[in-house]
């Protein structure tokens, strides 16, 4: 035991020694004073020793990671206040590398926990590393390959959220470069030096988004095809692949008008809808499959979804629209079953509340004061949609500290009633704090959501955290 404790201390101290150059740069740059650097070192020593315990606990990894994320936010605010944007490769890069290590260790030791994998993927998305997030999702699906919703969520992330995260990160990067370039240009002008315009050619700017879209589509298609190898003839995965191919075809038809030089794929075959037609044909073959039992309502719902997806893609609509309408007309009349195709079914079923009347009253209210009176009279029976609408009205009028505190109180009042059975409630609360309130509270709020929700809703919550727009 003494030797084991010595080895544990040796490894912890080795990790702390590797952090000394980072702490030196923090103090030299003035982002932390010596007392704050010493306090940071003490906190990290406590976290490192906790990670070396014989019995590993997930909350130790999560607390350490949350502490480092808070440090990144603090450095971001202090850099903005001091207009100091140097030595990022020696400070923030070291912290990000440590966060990756913590997430990898947590995923390795707690492979059955979906929240570990999705937290790592979400962190990679937030810092602008979509390639790393894709690798994390691929590794997660090697462990949890038996779940169709995870394959769909991973593909949907690559096709939608990956592009948004990448574009957001590029805008932030371009903004930092522009601010630094403006400062440098003003200094050069003050010295009487000539300044040159931005040398990036326009063609490179126009072709970069196209490459991102094509790469995202290729990755999303690869995930769906891998899922189909595990879940053969799965209607949900085939339907997801069909929507992807139809979306890519529609994008290419629109993009070819502006950028006819888009390369990397067979433009003629995709523009003609051939990949989407192959997937749709495979889906139609499942109607004659006697090995699976499907009700008439499920067939009707699938055909309706196929027709809607085909109509969004003109080449596919020309080939299959009449056939799909004929199949719909040939089905016997039957009460439709609950939806089975949407990935967000499990996430939104518990959160759906019949509060159309409350939303209508909020929209018809004359001014913010009247909307607040309507909300105060109906908050005891209102659902998530009405709460979202009230938050939107508050945000549209004022984003003061008083308005933020008022909306936060409303979320806390409804947490006891909606929290245990509504994934959409926590998604709305997290979205409010992340985009409008205090982003430092997101980690604590995520922990509360996992404690409040019923056990059968946790997996749906993890999927909703990966793709937030699915519960909107």
Tens of pLDDT, residues 46-56: 999 999 888 88
User: Where are the alpha helices (H) located in 259-367, listed in sequence order?
Assistant: 267-271, 274-285, 296-311, 314-330, 345-349, 356-364
d(CA 417, CA 226) in angstroms, rounded, equals 40
The whole-number pLDDT of residue 208 equals 40
Task: Give me the pLDDT at residue 104, please.
Answer: 95
Name the range with the highest mean pLDDT among 91-95, 282-286, 321-325.
91-95
The band of 348, judged by pLDDT with boundaries at 50, 70 and 90, is very low
Question: What is residue 188's predicted lDDT score, i.e. its pLDDT?
Answer: 42
- For 399, the token pair is 């984003």
pLDDT at 64 over 90: yes
Whether the Cβ atoms of residue 432 and residue 118 lie closer than 8 Å to each other: no
Comparison of pLDDT for 4 and 169, the residue scoring more: 169
> At 205, is the pLDDT very low, low, confident or very high (cuts 50, 70, 90)?
very low
pLDDT in tens, 135-160: 999 999 999 998 898 999 999 988 88
**Any idea how long the chain is?**
472
Q: What is the per-residue pLDDT for 6? A: 59
pLDDT tens across 397-453, in order? 776 778 888 888 888 888 888 888 888 888 888 888 877 787 777 777 887 888 888
**What is the structure's pLDDT at 472?**
45
Contacts of 413 (CB under 8 A, 6+ apart): 379
pLDDT grade, residue 170 (50/70/90)?
Answer: low
- Report pLDDT for 26: 94
Q: Is the pLDDT of residue 17 over 90?
A: yes
194 phi-psi bin (left φ>0, alpha ψ -120 to 50, beta other):
beta
pLDDT value for 182: 54
Q: Calculate the average pLDDT of the chain.
A: 78
Mean pLDDT of 1-6: 53
Smallest CA-to-CA distance from 271 within 245, 289, 295, 293 is with 245
Please determine, for residue 15, whether its predicted confidence score (pLDDT) is greater than 70. Answer: yes
* The pLDDT of residue 201 is above 90: no
**139 versus 213: which is more confidently predicted?**
139
Phi-psi region of 192 (alpha: psi -120 to 50; beta: other; left: phi over 0): left
The band of 339, judged by pLDDT with boundaries at 50, 70 and 90, is: very low
Helix axes 114-126, 130-143, angle to 10 degrees: 170
Asked which of 1-15, 225-239, 362-376 is least confident by mean pLDDT, the reply is 1-15
User: Of the segments 78-92, 154-168, 420-434, which one has the largest average pLDDT value?
Assistant: 78-92
77 vs 144: CA distance, rounded Å: 38
3-class secondary structure, 97: helix
Residue 233 pLDDT greater than 70, yes or no = yes
CA distances from 131 to 27, 49, 121, 150, 204 (A): 33, 31, 10, 18, 21
Checking if the pLDDT of 320 tops 60, the result is yes
Residue 79 scores a pLDDT above 90: yes
Cα(309)–Cα(73) distance, integer angstroms? 42
State which H helix or E strand residue 156 sits in.
Answer: helix 148-156
Contact 426, 419 (CB under 8 A): yes
Q: Which residue has the higher pLDDT, 257 or 414?
A: 414
Rg (CA), the chain: 26
Which pLDDT band holds residue 306 (cuts at 50, 70, 90)?
Answer: confident
Ranking 254-268, 316-330, 411-425, 455-469 by mean pLDDT, the lowest is: 254-268
| CA-CA-CA-CA torsion sign (138, 139, 142, 144) | negative
Residue 202 has pLDDT above 50, yes or no: no
C-alpha distance across the termini of the chain, in Å: 53
- Buried b / exposed e over 422-446, threshold 16 CB at 10 Å, is bbbbbbbbbbbbeebbeeebbbebb
pLDDT at 43 over 90: yes
Whether the model clears a pTM of 0.85, i.e. scores above it, the answer is no
The alpha carbon torsion through 41, 43, 44, 45 (nearest 10 deg) reads: 80
Q: Is 108 exposed, middle or buried (0-12, 13-18, 19+ CB in 10 A)?
A: exposed
| Dihedral angle sign, alpha carbons of residues 58, 61, 67, 73 | negative
Please report which confidence band the pLDDT of residue 365 belongs to, taking 50, 70 and 90 as the band edges.
Answer: confident
Nearest to 64 by CA among 88, 35, 40, 82: 40
């Amino acid at each position: 035991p003494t030797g084991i404790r010595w080895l544990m201390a040796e490894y912890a101290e080795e990790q702390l020694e590797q952090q000394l150059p980072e702490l030196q740069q923090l103090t030299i740059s003035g982002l932390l004073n010596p007392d704050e650097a010493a306090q940071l070192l003490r906190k990290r020593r406590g976290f490192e020793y906790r990670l070396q315990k014989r019995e590993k606990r997930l909350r130790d990894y999560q607390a350490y990671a949350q502490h480092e994320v808070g440090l990144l936010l603090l450095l971001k605010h202090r850099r903005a206040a001091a207009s100091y944007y140097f030595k990022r490769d020696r400070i923030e890069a070291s912290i990000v590398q440590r966060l990756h290590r913590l997430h990898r260790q947590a995923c390795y030791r707690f492979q059955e926990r979906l929240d570990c994998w999705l937290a790592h993927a979400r962190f990679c998305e937030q810092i602008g590393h979509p390639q790393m997030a894709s690798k994390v999702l691929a590794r997660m699906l090697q462990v949890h390959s038996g779940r169709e919703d995870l394959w769909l969520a991973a593909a949907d992330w690559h096709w939608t959220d990956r592009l948004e995260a990448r574009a957001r990160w590029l805008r932030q990067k371009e903004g930092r470069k522009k601010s630094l370039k403006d400062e440098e240009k003003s200094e050069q002008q003050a010295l009487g030096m000539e300044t040159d315009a931005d040398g990036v050619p326009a063609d490179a700017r126009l072709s970069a988004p196209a490459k991102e879209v094509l790469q995202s589509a290729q990755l999303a298609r690869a995930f769906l095809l891998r899922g189909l190898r595990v879940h053969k003839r799965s209607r949900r995965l085939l339907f997801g692949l069909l929507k992807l191919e139809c979306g890519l075809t529609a994008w290419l038809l629109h993009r070819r008008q502006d950028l006819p030089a888009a390369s990397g794929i067979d433009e003629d075959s995709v523009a003609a809808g051939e990949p989407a037609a192959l997937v749709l044909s495979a889906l139609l073959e499942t109607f004659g499959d006697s090995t699976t039992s499907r009700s008439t309502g499920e067939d009707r719902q699938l055909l309706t979804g196929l027709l809607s997806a085909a109509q969004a893609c003109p080449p596919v609509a020309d080939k299959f629209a009449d056939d799909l309408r004929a199949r719909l007309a040939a089905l016997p009349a039957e009460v439709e079953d609950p939806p089975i195709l949407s990935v967000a079914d499990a996430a939104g079923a518990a959160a759906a509340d019949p509060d159309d009347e409350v939303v209508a009253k909020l929209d018809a209210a004359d001014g913010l004061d009247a909307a607040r009176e309507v909300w105060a009279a109906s908050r005891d029976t209102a659902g998530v949609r009405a709460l979202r609408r009230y938050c939107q009205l508050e945000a549209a009028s004022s984003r003061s500290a008083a308005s933020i505190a008022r909306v936060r109180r409303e979320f806390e009042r409804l947490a006891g009633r909606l929290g245990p059975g509504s994934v959409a409630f926590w998604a709305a609360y997290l979205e409010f704090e992340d985009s409008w309130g205090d982003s430092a509270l997101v980690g604590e709020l995520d922990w509360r959501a996992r404690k409040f929700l019923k056990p059968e809703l946790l997996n749906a919550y993890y999927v909703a955290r990966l793709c937030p727009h699915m519960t909107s």
